[in-house]
């Protein structure tokens, strides 16, 4: 981190806006997934894709392309043009948002660079963010293509890669914002437990992606048990522990049960770790760090409660508001952990 460079308020606001828009992009991705909208646009046109269908003829053409997909034939065969427009809107808005994010980054970046308002360190940081964003977008299209042939949903593992890459983009932006705002402390604080909590949170994000991709939340809609069992019966049968069962998650219960079981365990683990972290650090931090510590504690409790409410309110599908809020709070929890981590960097270290 370069600590001697003074960034203007405009640059700080620009980067903070970028982070907020990245959060919005992840949440729009969640809405797109929960509404089953992700496969509604069957082409990826970087330039012409900015313009949606503008008349009845163009809408019919787009709908005919969707009718050729497995999702239409196997799930949405009763859709009319109005139903199609609804799912098209969310996928279009999701793609338009990321394009807008690109312009919000690119145009000010060029202006600030020409006016020499940013140093080489920030240029390098932003290049990392842009490259990760491009990689995430590419993985997103590969994910979408996996649902356009033979199967009506995207591949769970490709969805997870796309989601985890999105987390990397957010974390890279958090690091940039923390550096630009000069997050640091004069107090020496151990970061060991916090680092462990962050690592497990990232692991939880992987399982969150798998939960979404396998639609594992639709199974075992009970709490605290999983349909009356602490450990689902399907996980107790040794013959079920095969890679084939992990691949064929659409046709057999084993993989969704395993993913949900581990997801629950990791949630309880993070709750316990965050509580311990809170009590170990609450009297040792400066004001800014203490604020982020409080956020982590509130967010993890809210996240566990939201997870429970989401599960017990499943009725054939994930409740949209609860599901999206659960994803948002989980992301904010991850962000708060990283801001806490960067806020306890020691000036004299």
151 band by pLDDT with thresholds 50, 70 and 90:
low
pLDDT in tens, 86-140: 988 888 888 888 888 878 888 888 888 888 888 888 889 888 988 998 898 888 7
Give yes or no for a contact between 290 and 278, defined as CB atoms under 8 angstroms apart. no
User: pLDDT at position 2, please?
Assistant: 47
C-alpha distances out from residue 24 to 182, 302, 331, Å = 24, 19, 11
**What is the percentage of the chain residues whose pLDDT exceeds 70?**
95
Instruction: Answer yes or no: are the C-beta atoms of 210 and 160 closer than 8 Å.
Output: yes
- What's the CA gap between 140 and 64, in Å, rounded? 23
**Which one, of 19, 121, 97, 12, lies nearest residue 336 by Cα?**
19
Unique residue bearing structure tokens 């590969």? 142
Sequence ranges of the domains in the chain: 1-182, 183-349
pLDDT digits (tens, 9 = 90+) for 41-90: 877 766 556 788 888 888 998 888 888 888 888 888 888 899 888 988 88
Task: Residue 26: count other Cβ atoms within 10 Å of its Cβ.
Answer: 18
Give pLDDT, residue 113.
Answer: 86
pTM, entire model: 0.90
Q: CB–CB of 71/147 below 8 Å? A: yes
List, for residues 276-301, the tens digit of each pLDDT value.
Answer: 999 999 888 888 899 999 999 999 99
pLDDT at 143 over 90: no
Per the model's pLDDT, the better-predicted residue between 283 and 1 turns out to be 283
How far, CA to CA in Å, does 206 sit from each of 42, 103, 132, 213, 265?
26, 29, 17, 11, 14
Handedness of CA 332, 323, 223, 156 (dihedral sign): negative
């Amino acid at each position: 981190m370069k600590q001697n460079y003074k960034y203007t308020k405009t640059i700080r606001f620009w980067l903070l806006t970028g982070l907020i828009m990245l959060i919005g992009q992840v949440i729009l991705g969640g809405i797109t997934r929960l509404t089953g909208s992700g496969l509604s646009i069957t082409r990826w046109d970087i330039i012409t894709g900015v313009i949606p269908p503008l008349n009845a003829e163009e809408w019919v053409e787009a709908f005919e392309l969707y009718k050729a997909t497995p999702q239409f034939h196997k799930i949405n065969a009763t859709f009319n043009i109005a139903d199609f427009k609804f799912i098209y809107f969310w996928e279009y808005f999701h793609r338009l948002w990321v394009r807008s994010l690109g312009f919000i980054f690119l145009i000010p970046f060029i202006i600030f660079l020409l006016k020499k308002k940013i140093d080489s360190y920030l240029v390098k940081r932003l290049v990392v963010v842009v490259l990760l964003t491009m990689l995430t977008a590419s993985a997103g299209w590969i994910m979408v293509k996996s649902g356009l042939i033979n199967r009506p949903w995207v591949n769970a593992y490709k969805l997870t890669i796309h989601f985890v890459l999105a987390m990397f983009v957010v974390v890279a932006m958090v690091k940039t914002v923390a550096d630009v705002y000069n997050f640091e402390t004069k107090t020496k604080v151990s970061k060991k437990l916090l680092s462990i909590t962050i690592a497990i949170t990232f692991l939880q994000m992987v399982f969150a992606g798998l939960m979404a991709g396998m639609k594992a939340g639709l199974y075992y809609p009970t709490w605290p048990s999983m349909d009356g069992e602490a450990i689902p019966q399907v996980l107790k049968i040794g013959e079920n522990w095969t890679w084939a069962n992990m691949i064929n998650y659409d046709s057999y219960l084993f993989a969704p049960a395993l993913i949900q079981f581990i997801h629950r365990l990791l949630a309880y683990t993070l709750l316990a770790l965050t509580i311990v972290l809170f009590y170990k650090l609450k009297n040792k931090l400066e004001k800014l760090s203490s604020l982020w510590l409080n956020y982590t504690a509130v967010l993890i409790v809210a996240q566990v409660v939201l997870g429970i409410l989401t599960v017990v309110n499943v009725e054939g599908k994930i409740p949209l508001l609860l599901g999206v809020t659960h994803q948002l709070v989980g992301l904010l929890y991850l962000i708060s952990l990283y801001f806490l981590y960067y806020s306890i960097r020691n000036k004299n270290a």
